[in-house]
Structure 1
Amino acid sequence: MLELDHLIAFLPGPPEPAGPLAGFFLDEGTTHTGQGTRNRRIRFRRHYVELLWIDEPETEQASGLGFAERSARTAFPYGIVLRGTLPEGDFRRYTVPDGPTLAIHQGTPDMPFLAIAELTDEQIAGLPHRHVPPHRSGATGIVATRLTGATAPGPTLPGISLTAEGDPSMRLLLDSGPLRL
């Protein structure tokens, strides 16, 4: 089984909490030690949307993750992190500094970044639901996601559809309505 852990929108800089993000509570985020990135998140009980940008370019370059290209929009600027059983495909192991080991798909720049946090079905069932502040939009979760302008990475992605046609975008269907990033 695979389920959504979080979605990533790679940005050229910190997000503005206006425009489409105005109805959402953005947490303070975190600095990713050893990755050269910083984030803020729109959190829900079982998943979240990570708004990620480069904070330390030299450190990001050394990480080998290719996030600078995604943030500069020279590679597809969205990503998906799932949790569950590793599907078939070309994956490599990456240990997040001071964090878990992920299986990262060895895709091409026109594919979304894809990583899997390997967990058994029993481990997934035992994950707690987070307490999150309410969003002014009323949203409590992601129902479905559509990535446009992306080549599919291969494995079936639960609740996520991809199309190669069009400019890169991420459209979320939340339980309160649509959100485009």
Structure 2
Amino acid sequence: MEIDHVFICVRDHQQAADAMKSLGLSEGTPNVHPGQGTANRRFFFHNAFIELLHLTDEAQAQSPLTAPTRLFERLTCTDGVVSPFGICFRPCADNQAPTFTTWDYRPTYLPAGLKVDVGTACVSEPMWFFLSFAKRPDQAPAARAQPLEHRNEFHEITSVNVSSPHCHGASTAANSANLVDGFKLTQGEEHLITLEIDHGLHHRTHDFRPLLPMIINW
């Protein structure tokens, strides 16, 4: 497996997206998730992307289909316990399966035959999931190509570190994720995601807090 993308649950997607664009990132196309009650803003790199996920319909997000994903809790809770993050993996070889136990989530916005493999874990951990059909952004066909060039000349996400105040006794999904190259879940004082771009060659950093629980190092 390898990292496909990360999501961060946000309340004000416009402010969050503007903050990322202010750093020099080019925004890709947004998505709406009919039936799931969510939409997103996306920022693509050659190998992965960042998704800002926000709530659009409370009833849909709490429907029998969507409720087991616990997305509603991630999008609305402010108690400091629920993780606002999701980590998506994809195969790095043909026919590769997720290395953690999953259940099938088949949202209505996906074409028939496709599914999201969701890992079993408590909501204090990130949402772990796997997309068997996902590819690197720089391998997308021309019709679905996204902007990969940024004013700050970022190219690739080279590591992802997620800290959590509640990762004692981590799930088997978390343990599997920690074996993926470039990813680490660690104990911390707050929910925070730290992304390294291009191996941190420029020794620079930007802290998006308190607007976003994210630090980018490049």
Into which bin does the TM-score normalised by the smaller protein fall? 0.7 to 0.9
- In the TM superposition, residue 163 of structure 1 has moved relative to its aligned partner by 0.9
| CA distance in 2 between partners of 1:178 and 1:4 (Å) | 21
| CA distance in 2 between partners of 1:44 and 1:124 (Å) | 12
User: Which residue of structure 1 aligns with residue 85 of structure 2?
Assistant: 78
Which residue of the other structure, out of 117, 127, 138, is the alignment partner of 1:113?
127
User: Which residue of structure 1 aligns with residue 211 of structure 2?
Assistant: none
**Partner SS state of residue 154, structure 1:** helix
- In the TM superposition, residue 113 of structure 1 has moved relative to its aligned partner by 0.5
Matched, 1:60 2:61: yes
Query: Residues 131 and 3 (structure 1 numbering): CA distance in 2 closer, same or farther, change over 3 Å?
Result: same
User: Which residue of structure 1 aligns with residue 13 of structure 2?
Assistant: 14
Gaps of 5+ in 1: none
Matched, 1:24 2:25: yes
Which residue of the other structure, out of 91, 95, 102, is the alignment partner of 2:106?
95
- In the TM superposition, residue 118 of structure 1 has moved relative to its aligned partner by 2.5
**Partner SS state of residue 24, structure 1:** coil
| CA distance in 1 between partners of 2:47 and 2:125 (Å) | 25
Code of the residue aligned with 1:45 in structure 2: it is H
Higher strand share goes to which structure?
A: 1
| CA distance in 1 between partners of 2:20 and 2:132 (Å) | 32
Q: TM-score, normalised by structure 2?
A: 0.71
| CA distance in 1 between partners of 2:73 and 2:158 (Å) | 29
The 8 Å contact of residues 27 and 147 in structure 2, kept in 1 or not, is answered as no
Share of identical aligned residues, percent?
20
Matched, 1:42 2:53: no
Higher helix share goes to which structure?
A: 2
- In the TM superposition, residue 143 of structure 1 has moved relative to its aligned partner by 0.6
Q: TM-score, normalised by structure 1?
A: 0.85
- In the TM superposition, residue 178 of structure 1 has moved relative to its aligned partner by 4.3
User: Which residue of structure 2 aligns with residue 144 of structure 1?
Assistant: 159
**145-154 or 78-87, larger mean C-alpha shift:** 145-154
- In the TM superposition, residue 102 of structure 1 has moved relative to its aligned partner by 1.6
- In the TM superposition, residue 34 of structure 1 has moved relative to its aligned partner by 1.3
| CA distance in 2 between partners of 1:9 and 1:124 (Å) | 20
**Partner SS state of residue 70, structure 1:** helix
What is the alpha-carbon root mean square deviation over aligned residues?
2.4
Gaps of 5+ in 2: 208-213
- Could you list the per-position Cα deviations for residues 116-143 of structure 1 after superposition, in whole angstroms to 9, with x for gaps in the alignment? 1136xxx969x82545242122111101
**3-12 or 150-159, larger mean C-alpha shift:** 150-159
Larger Rg: 2
